[in-house]
């Protein structure tokens, strides 16, 4: 009598585990294949191109940063006449690391603050910490002229602001007194907050540059609003001049019919007070009230733009 053989079927749970394991292996294999293809492509490109030592940084990098860091220069060397794949890959990775350091410096610049060490010119010049503060102009698509702070450590290991290039109205000296207090004779050394000083100076510079952008935009809108020779257009679009002070806290607009408005602007760029008069000195209080508010909304309120 033939003997029957019983085949044990795997459980549903074990089949699911096997399927998941196989799927994970397939995913890993696919990832490795992609990496292998990418590396092979890079190696072929490197072999067919000129040596890594002749590679230069892109011309789009600012002139100030066009010279590669010393770490980058030390990693780019003339390879052997017929380098191996490992040697080429090693060079590529080291160059990538150096470029990452270079790009990190540029990212710090985009953040608006960079620091550097310098020595005063002349024999016996002291070492200083330099802080460069930059604001990026959205309208110009470029950095504005940078402002600098120069500090030194005194005998008490306290930071002292030696000099700076920031306009006086920013109040850098007063901020330094607030955040970099110096110890009184015989008194314990007070806590200094250099990072807070830099933060506050930068914030005031950014607000000032932003106000500048606003009034420059206002002048451009006013200039474009009027139609030359069209005497039927409203007097509000026939602007003669737009003036503002260095700090951009006072703005004046003069029209062709003799109308003049003088406006006070706060640090955030809001018009807090407006006085409009005609040639006879009569006030236009109804218009004055409408001007109060964000400076950047002025062209819309005056009908220069829709």
* DSSP state string for 120-156: -SSTTPPEEEEEEE--EETTTTEEPPPEEEEEEE-TT
Radius of gyration of the chain (CA): 33
Cα–Cα distance measured from residue 124 to residue 178, given in angstroms and rounded to the nearest whole number:
30
What are the Cα distances from residue 144, in Å, to 59, 135, 200, 208?
Answer: 21, 6, 18, 11
- Report the pLDDT averaged over residues 271-300: 95
More confident residue, 1 or 185: 185
pLDDT of residue 73: 40
Query: Distance of alpha carbon 224 from its chain centroid, rounded?
Result: 30
Cα–Cα distance measured from residue 114 to residue 108, given in angstroms and rounded to the nearest whole number:
6
Cα–Cα distance measured from residue 151 to residue 160, given in angstroms and rounded to the nearest whole number:
5
Q: Is the pLDDT of residue 226 over 80?
A: no
Q: Is the pLDDT of residue 77 over 60?
A: no
Q: Is the pLDDT of residue 150 over 60?
A: yes
More confident residue, 16 or 306: 306
pLDDT of residue 53: 39
Task: Please enumerate in sequence order all residues whose Cβ is within 8 A of that of 305, keeping only pairs 6 or more positions apart, or say none.
Answer: 221, 225, 299
- Pair 167, 212: CB distance under 8 Å: no
Backbone phi, psi, residue 118, to 5°: -150, 160
Q: Which one of 63-72, 188-197, 232-241 scores highest in mean pLDDT?
A: 188-197
- Report the pLDDT averaged over residues 205-229: 87
pLDDT digits (tens, 9 = 90+) for 39-75: 766 665 555 444 433 433 333 334 443 444 444 344 4
What are the Cα distances from residue 247, in Å, to 169, 172, 275?
Answer: 7, 14, 19
Q: Is the pLDDT of residue 76 over 80?
A: no
pLDDT of residue 156: 78
- Report the pLDDT averaged over residues 83-102: 55
More confident residue, 175 or 18: 175
- Report the pLDDT averaged over residues 82-91: 56
- Using a pLDDT cut of 70, give the percent of the chain over it: 65
Place of tokens 């940063």: 65
pTM confidence score: 0.62
- Report the pLDDT averaged over residues 84-91: 56
Q: Is 141 helix (H, G, I), strand (E, B) or coil?
A: coil
Q: Which one of 139-143, 170-174, 180-184 scores highest in mean pLDDT?
A: 170-174
CA-nearest of 210, 259, 31 to 274 is 259
Where residue 155 falls among pLDDT bands split at 50, 70, 90?
confident
């Amino acid at each position: 009598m033939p003997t029957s053989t019983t085949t044990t079927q795997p459980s549903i749970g074990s089949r699911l585990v096997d399927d998941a394991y196989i799927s994970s292996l397939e995913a890993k294999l696919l990832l490795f294949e992609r990496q292998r293809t990418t590396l092979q492509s890079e190696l072929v490109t490197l072999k067919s191109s000129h040596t890594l030592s002749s590679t230069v940084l892109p011309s789009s990098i600012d002139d100030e940063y066009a010279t590669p860091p010393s770490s980058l220069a030390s990693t780019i060397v003339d390879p052997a006449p017929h380098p191996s794949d490992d040697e080429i890959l090693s060079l590529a990775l080291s160059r990538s690391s150096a470029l990452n350091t270079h790009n990190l410096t540029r990212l710090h610049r985009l953040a608006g603050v960079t620091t550097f060490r310098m020595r005063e010119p002349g024999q016996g010049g002291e070492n200083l910490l330099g802080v460069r503060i930059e604001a990026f102009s959205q309208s110009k698509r470029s950095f504005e002229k940078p402002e600098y702070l120069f500090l030194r450590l005194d005998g008490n290991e306290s930071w002292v602001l030696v000099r700076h290039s920031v306009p006086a109205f920013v109040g850098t000296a007063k901020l330094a007194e607030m955040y970099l207090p110096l110890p009184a004779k015989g008194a314990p050394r007070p806590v200094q907050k250099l990072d807070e000083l830099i933060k506050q100076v930068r914030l005031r510079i950014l607000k000032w540059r932003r106000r500048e952008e606003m009034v420059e935009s206002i002048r451009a809108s006013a200039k474009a609003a009027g139609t030359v020779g069209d005497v039927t257009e409203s007097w509000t679009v026939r602007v003669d001049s737009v003036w503002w002070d260095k700090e951009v806290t006072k703005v004046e607009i003069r029209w062709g019919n003799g109308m003049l408005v003088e406006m006070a602007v706060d640090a955030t760029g809001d018009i807090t007070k407006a006085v409009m008069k005609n040639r006879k000195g009569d006030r236009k209080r109804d218009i004055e009230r409408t001007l109060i508010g964000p400076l950047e909304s002025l062209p819309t309120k005056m009908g220069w733009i829709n």
